[in-house]
Amino acid sequence: MKKTIILIAALLSISSAAAYAQEEKKDAKERLAEIEAMTVKAKKAKKARFAEKNLFDFDVLNYSGYGLHSISGSADWNMGNSREIILNILDLKLNPTNWLSINAGFDLKWNKFCSKKNYFEVSGGALTSNVPSLTADPAPKYKKSDIRTFSLSVPASIGFSVGKLGLNLGVEGVYNANKYTRVKTRYTLDGSEYIKKTKGGEVEKYQLNYLALIRFSDIGLYYKYCPKPLVPGNDMAKHYQTIGFILYM
């Protein structure tokens, strides 16, 4: 009788353990299914964020940029020290489809056009490029001379995008405020270093540049070409190209 009771108890224990194991296995499968469903849902939500776009987007302080100028002309320019700094003020975008956009904006730009072999002067409001004299006594030794401009820029482009990758092609209208143009020259004479600054040099007021931009997520690489001379009636900088990067905020 005692053996029978022990046998029955053992069978009940085994049955209970098997049922518990079966229930745990079922719970594990359900949890796994829930995790898979949540993963699929998260992927769909992420995909939707990139796929769905508003018809009209309006941004303020959307990006900033930095580029280097490669300048062609009679002056000997230094690309490493010739640059532009861009600060976006307003950015507008029209999205007819998920992959196509029409873009326009308003930017502030600070440009520097630098030479280490020529020096620049302002005479009667006009900018001139000069070669240092080798016969002057004492002869100043020029380190670098640059023309600095402040500009208002209106870029306009058509954009094509797939996910995080985008391509923009367009133009950039530029207004150079001559009031804020200045020339800065650094030189040494008789062992002492001097810096000469002059304001108000005349540059081309209006320019139309061609631009291309490749963007991936929050980083962009751009190329611009300016076909007009920097200084009216002077071939010191007949045209120039700019290569740089943009960071989106």
- Among residues 194, 201, 70, 180, the alpha carbon closest in space to that of 144 is found at 194
d(CA 117, CA 131): 7
Both 235 and 140 in a single domain?
Answer: yes
Q: At residue 197, does pLDDT exceed 80? A: yes
39 and 62 share one domain: no
Residue 19: pLDDT band with limits 50, 70, 90: low
Side chain identity, residue 233: G
Q: Assess whether 200 and 182 both reside in one domain.
A: yes
Highest mean pLDDT among 30-34, 86-90, 94-98, 176-180: 86-90
Res. 47: pLDDT tops 70: no
**Sorting pLDDT into bands at 50, 70 and 90, what band is 124?**
confident
Boundary-marking domain end, from 52, 79, 95? 52
Q: Give the residue-averaged pLDDT of 221-240.
A: 94
Q: Mark whether 106 and 185 lie in a shared domain.
A: yes
Higher pLDDT, 173 or 39: 173
Q: Could you identify the residue written with the tokens 């029978």?
A: 4
- C-alpha to C-alpha distance for 18 and 109, rounded to whole angstroms: 75
The verdict on whether omega for the bond into residue 227 sits within 30 degrees of 0, i.e. cis, is no
Gyration radius of the chain over CA positions: 33
Q: Are residues 80 and 169 in the same domain?
A: yes
**pLDDT at site 179:** 81
Pick from 70, 226, 202: which is nearest to 147 by CA? 202
| Same domain as 113, residue 2 | no
> Average pLDDT for residues 198-221, to the nearest whole number?
94
As a whole number, mean pLDDT of residues 175-186 equals: 89
Yes or no: say if 140 and 188 are a contact pair by the CB < 8 Å rule. yes
Q: Domain limits at 134? A: 53-248
Say how many domains are in the chain: 2
Q: What are 113's two structure tokens?
A: 């056009």
The answer to whether the CB of 103 falls within 8 A of the CB of 90 is no
The verdict on 140 and 208 lying in the same domain is yes
Q: How confident is the model at residue 17 (pLDDT cuts 50, 70, 90)?
A: low
- Residue with more model confidence, 15 or 243: 243
**pLDDT, average across residues 166-172:** 98
- Distance separating the N- and C-terminal Cα atoms of the chain: 83
Q: How confident is the model at residue 249 (pLDDT cuts 50, 70, 90)?
A: confident
Q: What are phi and psi of 164, to 5 degrees?
A: -85, -10
User: Do 187 and 79 belong to one domain?
Assistant: yes
CATH number for the domain spanning 87: value is 2.40.160
